[in-house]
Amino acid sequence: MSVVGFDLGNESCVVAVARQRGIDVVLNDESKRETPALVCFGDKHRFLGTAGAATSMMNPKNTISQIKRLIGRPFSDPELQQDLKALPFSVTEGPDGFPLINARYLGETKSFTPTQVMGMVFSNMKTIAEKNLNAAVVDCCIGVPIYFTDLQRRAVMDAATIAGLHPLRLMHETTATALAYGIYKIDLPENEQLNVAFIDIGHASMQVCSEAQCPLVQYITRELLTCLIMEHVMRFASPE
């Protein structure tokens, strides 16, 4: 069996496998190719993916999302402190100087590291892959942003290990995009130079890669624009 690929985004995640002479993005239980990258903690159960998204509106303080922003970053990171302002759940500093996510689960307040929560997301993705392949999934390749530090990359690998996966490689998301382009683009010129720019616009970051240079604009994103519009509207909101 081929190695499974996981694309873990800030908002959603995707599982892909190599089969039928191509790359097949597998469907989840709701017949969708994208699965919400979140965990919703309840009084009796833990809800992952689509099930968690369905209950998130009723339980926002215990719905943990946007883990990609938290993992592998010290609590004192100025960018992390800015990100925390937009999160509805509680995040505090742990004894090691890294974030701890606090949520009500099984009737009591519990604390989880971002790595542990991402491990839960990976376990859901692993289940989706196994249902589609009818086989156990262990070996995998995971896409990560080009701006991830070594600490963040190691935290992602630890999260995959928690889920029972064996990450063979972490691949830059722009590299994965270039690889997909090369696989399906069959009319590439043989004798002429062709310059191609790969642009990845995600929920929390935008990455641009052209030739050997890979600059990034990390915060000009859909979510940032939404927050800026909301702040602008709030300036004109009448006090109750």
Tokens of 174: 């722009």
Report which DSSP code applies to 109: E
Average pLDDT over residues 214-218: 49
For the domain spanning 4-178, the CATH number is 3.30.420.40
Computed over every residue of the chain, the mean pLDDT equals 86
Measured between alpha carbons, how far is 67 from 146 in angstroms, rounded to an integer? Answer: 17
User: On the CB side of 112, how many CA atoms lie within 13 Å of its CA?
Assistant: 24
The catalytic site residues sit at: 7, 68, 173, 200
pLDDT value for 208? 74
Give me the percent of the chain exceeding a pLDDT of 70: 88
Is the full-model pTM beyond 0.85?
A: no
Q: Which residue has the tokens 């064996």?
A: 166
Measured between alpha carbons, how far is 60 from 37 in angstroms, rounded to an integer? Answer: 14
Give the pLDDT band (50/70/90) at residue 216.
very low
H/E run at residue 90: strand 90-93
